[in-house]
Structure formats: C-alpha cells, structure tokens
Amino acid sequence: MTEAKKSDQTRQRILDVGRSLVLRHGFSGVGLSRILSESGVPKGSFYYYFASKEAFGTAMLADYVEAYLDRVDALIAAPGTAGDKLDSFWDAWLSQSSAPGIASACLVVKLGSEVADLSETMRETLDQGVDALVARIAQLLRQGAEDGTVRVLENPETTARMLYAKWLGAAVLAKLARSDAPLRMARAETSAQLSPTGGQFPT
C-alpha cells in the first residue's frame, strides 16, 4: 500500500469516526482528542490532515454531502418511474426494521442550527448540499409530470424546496417526540400532494 493510499484511508477514518460522534453529541460537544482517540490517530497527526477543527467539520460535511448526493444520483439513474423513485426517497427517511432511516443520520437535522451560528464555511457547505438535493428532487418532479406518475406542478423547484422543508421539520419533530409519527404524517401528506389523481391531504 502506498503512503498516499494509507494517508487517504486515515483521513477517511477520521471523517467517518467524527461523523458518528457528531451525530450523537453535536459538533461543539465532541473534542478533537476524542475523535482522534476513537480513530486511532495520534493527536499530533491531526494537523497533517486538517488545519483546524473547523476545517475538519467542513471536510466532514462535504464528505457527507457527496456521499448523500451519490446515493440520490444512483436512485435517479435506476430503472423505474419518477414517482416510484420519489416514493423510495421519502420511504428512506423512515426507519425500517433492517436499517435506520435518513432522518436518524441526517447532519442537516443534527447540525443545521448549530453550524449556522458557529462556522460560515460549514454553513455554506450544508446550504450548498441542500440546494443540490432540492435540484434533484425538482428534477424528479419534472420527470414525474412527464411520465404521468406525479401531478403537473406550476413550479417544481419551489415545490421541491417546500417538500424538503416539510421533511426536515418532520425529522426535527420526530427527534423531539422520539416517535416517527411526524415523518409518517409527512409521508402521507407528500403522497397526497404529488398524486397525479389529485388525492386529498389527510386530516
């Protein structure tokens, strides 16, 4: 194994371990010493990979956004109707018996408010990631209108952003309630909103 390869793997291990800790404790609640200890990396080596904790946080968020968007791109590229792909995306927010849902591992839910006040570069990284995701949702909404699996929308971009806001809010409420009921309500409302047959919103 080359030194460059080992360096890349070590850097990725720090990012992966750091993300896991941040999801549980928040960014401010996790010190560098704990990240490095659980990564098995000597403290003095940290600055070889990251100039500061903020630089680490920005890299962690960029890594998270890239992986998330790669999964969404794979979903978009897969066979099937746009409506089915949207259904799969919304369903992924919900925890299943075999795996946790998106909401439980979402760094936007966990860090959105915290990093907005803490770090401009971290805020920008998350904000740009959200914009990229919303653009992909809008793409599926347009494709769904074309293939007849989603109702025709006047402004798919605006609808995509409001849908994401709905799900983000539902994820926050689900964490507060320690219940997936808000997410399941969002799922039912989203299905009604996008139904090509004009379904009614649940009451």
Query: How long is the chain?
Result: 203
Token pair 């404790």 in the structure block, residue: 25
| Ranges of H-type helices in 78-198 | 82-92, 107-118, 120-147, 156-177, 181-194
Residue type, 60: M
pLDDT per residue of the chain (203 residues) written in tens, 0 to 9? 565 588 889 999 999 999 999 999 999 999 998 999 999 888 778 888 999 999 999 999 999 999 999 999 999 999 999 999 999 999 999 875 445 667 777 888 888 888 888 899 999 999 999 999 999 999 999 999 999 999 999 999 999 999 999 999 999 999 899 899 999 999 999 999 999 986 544 43
pLDDT at 86: 97
CA–CA gap between residue 199 and residue 164 (Å, rounded):
20
pLDDT at 100: 63
Q: How many helices (H) and strands (E) does the chain have?
A: 9, 0
